[in-house]
Structure 1
């Protein structure tokens, strides 16, 4: 994409300079205090308050602001913001970092930051008033230009496009090094800019200013060597200016560029204007006056109103079905052109990218580069038929031999149409008799009919819309073999085996398209008056056009209803969305049912199995599953589960957001749950959920082989897995699996609490602690422990309550909530009778008192743990924990030499066990002891090794803590610059990850370091 630097100078205007200074061309919204705010996206990202340019910070914060401005006054989901800032693979710390950037962005926006940027249930929303955002001004001006163009008001078209182009300062967001998810929006803005240029130059030609625009038009055409519309306008302007040779040279230039770079010939419009230049067509010289021509110089092709069609005699054996009358020898049989396209969907909105792709294929076929087949696939209600019919209407004039439309009834209450009968219908439509003559019989065999259809279509330009196809077998015999025909096939199945490279999958609408459609259906005033209700409706409809059109119909029939009234009926605690999403013959539930019932009632065992898989997944709605846990739920092998899941993806009853990851669309999840309760017994539902919860419990338990636990291990489940468990190769992959499955583990805890095995809830929560030791600061692990504790309390589970309190106590301790830590551990101590459990809890109590600086109590608990440990003869892992807790207590008491001996012993035990996290913690504490002993080299050797391990395993809080220890150590040796660097690193880390206690401690250390440095100086 080429940055824009030149000036457009239309006649009668001062010029449209596109430099930075033109930011002032925006209509500024004035507040009561006389200040103004302006946001600029059409060029480098810029924010001004009055005459002052606001500093925005680094690329991530600028990407955040850009993503919010591109959806101004609409909420943007956190996942959407993360994609804009980091792409498809955000780091594990993305959420915390995002909130940190949001806070800084609020501050950058000044006093208005909090009121402008706010959180909503659907994401973050940036409020922008009218006249404050250049993109909104640009779009509004283009809308006025479009309206003027429709009524052929060329002066207004020129004026509005000139004003729009004055806002353009260069390529949008050119200052962002990586656009990530914003690249699509930038491309859209660049395409819109090209549209504005086209309309501006078109208006200038219509106004007779062809001589004046040639220099600027030539520059733009040169920059966009493959943009045919600009070259059509340039050739027209040159010819009208008496420069025929240059016009022909301009055509040759673009023809060569298209051939060399794309391997294609010029399109119809270029060929048409070229022909008119060659033939000195007088229409190209003056203004166009024909009513059916809208382009300058009469560049539009005139469609034929009818054609003469001859049907060749059938080949092969005769049949029993009649077709049309046979024409007399030597005469062609003139027939009316079929025009079977159904009426367009009212207020068709959105889908511009898909529409362009679809129209491009149809154009290629109409230009003789055919035949072309394009499939439009997606879930029921996503708008496949509406898109196909809309595109067919747009280009129907390019297929003068007719447009045919057939509903193949692949999904619905009635049986799919037989190909044999469909072929008869098509041939009859193409050969309707207009005079009496002898009867020609159709062939008996389907293959012969398909061959006859290919013969009839061979030399025609016909558009076929084959709607609602069941599978490829239903479609293949209906396809043309040669010629310039085009075929659009819509289906809820993927149809990947059709002979075409043009597959257009249709996903649910994005938030911008949804809002545009809702606004078109019920009016912008109604939406603006109740924006909250509108957003709730959009969330409930989940991007499904059918659902939105039902909402539009219901609102149209109830003009007195505010949007909030209907939004309440769509809420989770309402009567149910699927019940509310019905209006007349439009019903979301019925649409979903036609897809599901086609599988459930199929003659094929695999499809019936897929229907069962669909309703079972509905019991786990809202979560992303992989084949492993799905195999447990389905009671099948992982390979069988994967095939069933992929079959559901092919039927668009399931989404696959990543390889071998599957989820239900929001509305389909509700329908799948309905089918599970209707078509599965209570025993079958309970058994499926139990298998899945057991699988997750055993999978999480098996992570212990890699994520080695400190201290005493929780009791094993000792149960065979219902499906093969994941194999964990190393610590990194194990942590990645836990991170990926966290949401499912949380759902398993919830489901276990409602099922026959509530003990699975606490087992899942306590075994997950191996992962949570390195990621506790995110808060999810603590939430799971709290949830499991409530379940254990409800079922009076003493064992579960004891283990959960132990881990909650440790979690409180890591978060520096020491009073809560001690209380939870004391409560847990009362629930255990065995010496090993008590020893482990005393160790943790010792660590808690150490952190609180209570050396005496820390030593009391450390000695109690040591005595109980000897009494129990516990496992080596508990030995390491006991020795570590004694070392911590001695360090707190200032007995550094004794502490060093214990740390060295504990370090050897942790290294032997391969426990990376405990090894690093011990190294960090040993480094602090070496600081106290004045051993500079030994201290930093231990601290640097600890930091490397923490970084590798991603223990953010421990990294911050270790940096603070490093800062203190540098300060003790009067290394003031290094001390300051380390403490500032700790502050940055704590700010980015919202580590409150470490942030406070780091600031205190910074103050101490600066005071000590000043005193020493």
Structure 2
């Protein structure tokens, strides 16, 4: 058992240097690393990483042993140690794609939003193929989870922790744990009680270790109970355990004893911790669940740590974890001693507190908005963050719990209004602090949850919004056909809700997807439908932009006459709206199409006009692009001297050396309208 290598099933955290017992198991595990496998014995090179299995009941110290093994052999693996937990505290298996995504993030590799499990695991195996990594897979529910994440290289080592065998994975080296030996069990008790009470009654102490079956989690609870009662003898605890009805495991019996000894208020807080998302608790979560102050909740949590009922998480913020072996006991206890209405109210309080924290987390980034500052000042001091950086750190640290909270709220089905508010604030906070691109993998999951609630509650407007957001993320990761299906479904939902924004946005997005798929006729048709709606609603700025998108579709299709007409309409619309920069860009694109159509003189005139408008807009990048286009056109017309003059002006505007051709080409192409707008 270790302090920094926590037994997630319930062992206490002790320092790495204080690891107890398991000498034989460690020796065998280290020997198994070097032992020849079946492939080696048959003369073949091992195709995959070796798997060492540490199997044992929750609370047996299996994770602690795995962490100690990792600590001892980590220096053999130059590319470090990767960790993934494969089960939630309540025993629910973690989807393989989630585990793969976390491992890829630890390697600083991109994780496309919405990617399938097979795609992510393939990327992971490819990334590990040329690395020497030690992979710790904790609390594996089954062999399929482990098999999907195995590196395809013998240079890596996998240490898997599970409750039983991993049937189906070849050449697994199992190590099955029982209880600690008596000497180690007594030492664990001594660390809680001091040596006096152990030495004055060694027989009672040995009997207690035997009663606890040497299980570290049980001994930790027993030691915590004794530590809280300095005048109690070890024999007193043994007597109380014998007076129990004898039903259940040693863990459940000691846990009941500890729970019954708590004050009623503390016992209630402890039971309600079974509702904490992902088993992660902070003082705000505990305070909301119990309906008490944050300071009072933190004091109770620290008391629970001393009793072995919780352990602290290594984090800049106060954060605690419910041991996995205690989670089912807490859940059963809450179901038997608290009314369903009280548990539902506790969930609602927790979600409401989380929503308000997310609001504060987002609002603090809006420092230039007087209304936002006023709203922030109106919040209770306990909910406010001292700075945007502190808010971002809180969001990053609490991210697993926040995502788990959203999943749990949606699965509950009785708190959909709060769940919708939570997901809305979570999306806005993540975008504010991390940006849409960085947060996209998490946002994809949240939008999928929003879609679940919208379909369950028959909310077409929210269904349309979720489908549009999912379609955008699908499109950004290259799944254009899937995005098209989402956009069409969003159009149906928008029409059902009679929402003009959703229908217009969906029609334009359908057009953008067809454009990406190079179906230019359908793209122009759908853009035209969206344009008709915008014109009917007198939305001139949007109409001008759609004229440009129609023109782009016609340009790709080679229909330059239609493209020119639509670019002229776009330029006229921008000019009427007073959007100087957009007017200049539209003229620039018109000049490009005129050049494609074989009208260099018209293109030259339009380029000069666009250049004048770009100067008015003070858009130097666009000016440089237009100067380069003028140079190309003049060369085509046989005037190299004038072309060189314009090219020199472009280089001065960009501030680059002449040989940086790639950058100037990017400047020239920067204004070309591509398949989708920024609003999609």
Q: TM-score, normalised by structure 2?
A: 0.50
Q: TM-score, normalised by structure 1?
A: 0.35
Larger Rg: 1
More helix by share: 2
